[in-house]
Amino acid sequence: MAPHREGSEASVEAMVAQVEKHPISTILIIIAMQTEALPVVNKFQLIENPHSSFPKGVPWIHYHGAYKDITINLIWPGKDLTFGVDSVGTISASLVTYASIQALQPDLIINAGTAGGFKEKGAAIGDVFLVSHVAFHDRRIPIPVFDLYGVGLRQTYSTPNLLKALNLKTGKLSTGDSLDMSPHDEASIAANDATVKDMEGAAVAYVAELLKVPAIFVKAVTDIVDGEKPTAEEFLQNLAAVTATLEEVVTQVIDFISGKCLPEL
Ligand code: ADE
C-alpha cells in the first residue's frame, strides 16, 4: 500500500511535476558587476524597469525584456550607496536573489560573472565554466556539523545536455567575500576541490535552494589565482575581453534553454 501522504504534499509534488513539463518561460540572471552585466543587457536589448518591486532607495537594478519565448530578467545589485562601487560579494548577492525570486518567480536562475581560475586544475584566462558544485571558503566554524554548514557545499542544478551542447568546461566553484586569497582561504579552496573562485555563487545557490528555484552558474576566468601576476591587476587587465566572452556564452545558454523544459537541460 502506498504510504499515506498529506494532500498538500501530494499537490506540491504535482505542481512541481507540472512546472517541469512546461517550457522555461521566465529566467532570472544575476550579475554582480556593471561591466559584466551591460554586454548582456545590450545584446538582448533589455530595458531598465523603473517600477521594480524592490524596496524604495535600494540600488538594485532590474532589466527585463523578451527573447524568443522567454522573459529575461537581469538583476544587477547596483552601486553601493556609500562607496559608489559595484555591490559585489555574498551579502548583496543573497539579498537580490531573495528579492528577485519573490518578485519574479523565475523558472531558472543563471548566476553569471567573472572568476579567478586555478591553472593547476585546468583553468585558463577566458575559459567559461558551467559549475557543478558550489561551496564557501571563508566561513570556518570548527564545531561538528557547523563546519559543514559553513562550507555549504551544494550541487548545482544538473544540466548535462547544456554542458555537452555548448562544450563548456566544468568544475567546482568556491565563494568568498575577498578578491585575494589568504592562506586560510587557500586551504579551504583546496579542500573544496575548486577550479574557480568567485564572490557570489554559493550565496546565490543558498537562496535558490531555500526558495526551491533551480540555479546554474556560468563563470568566466579573468585571472589565474595560482599564477605569477597580482590578482587585482590581472583581473582589471582582462575584464573587458572576458566579459565579452561571458556575454557570448550567456547568449548560447539562453538559445539552448529556449523552448525546453527543465529536465531537458
Ligand atoms: N572574480 C574574478 N576574479 C576573482 C578572484 N580571483 N576571486 C574572486 N572573485 C573573482
Closest-CA residue, ligand 1 atom 5, reads 116
H-only helix segments in 22-72 = 34-43
- The span from the CA of 115 to the CA of 219, in Å, is 6
d(CA 58, CA 52): 11
Residue 225 CA, closest ligand 1 atom number: 6
Q: What is the pLDDT of residues 115-139, one digit of tens each?
A: 999 999 999 999 999 999 999 999 9
Every domain of the chain and the residues it spans:
24-258
Confidence band, pLDDT 50/70/90 cuts, at residue 21? confident
Residues near ligand 1 (Cβ within 6 A): 114-116, 179, 197-199, 222-223, 225, 231, 235
**Cα 180 to ligand 1 centre (Å):** 7
Q: Of 86, 185, 200, 223, which one is the catalytic site residue?
A: 223
- For the stretch 187-208, pLDDT in tens is 999 999 999 999 999 999 999 9
- Distance from the alpha carbon of residue 6 to the mean position of ligand 1, in angstroms: 46
Contact 196, 173 (CB under 8 A): yes
The pTM of the whole model exceeds 0.75: yes
193 as an active site residue: the answer is no
**Residue 6: pLDDT band by 50, 70, 90 thresholds?**
very low
Is residue 177 annotated as part of the catalytic site, yes or no? no
β pairing state of 194-198 and 169-175: parallel
Residue nearest to atom 9 of ligand 1 (CA): 198
Please give the class, per CATH, of domain 24-258: alpha beta
What burial letters (b/e) apply to 38-71, b meaning 16+ CB within 10 Å? bbbbeebebeeeeebebeeebbbbbbbeebeebb
**Which residue's CA is the nearest one to ligand 1's atom 8?**
198
Q: What is the mean pLDDT of the chain?
A: 94
In degrees rounded to 5, what are phi and psi of residue 255? -60, -40
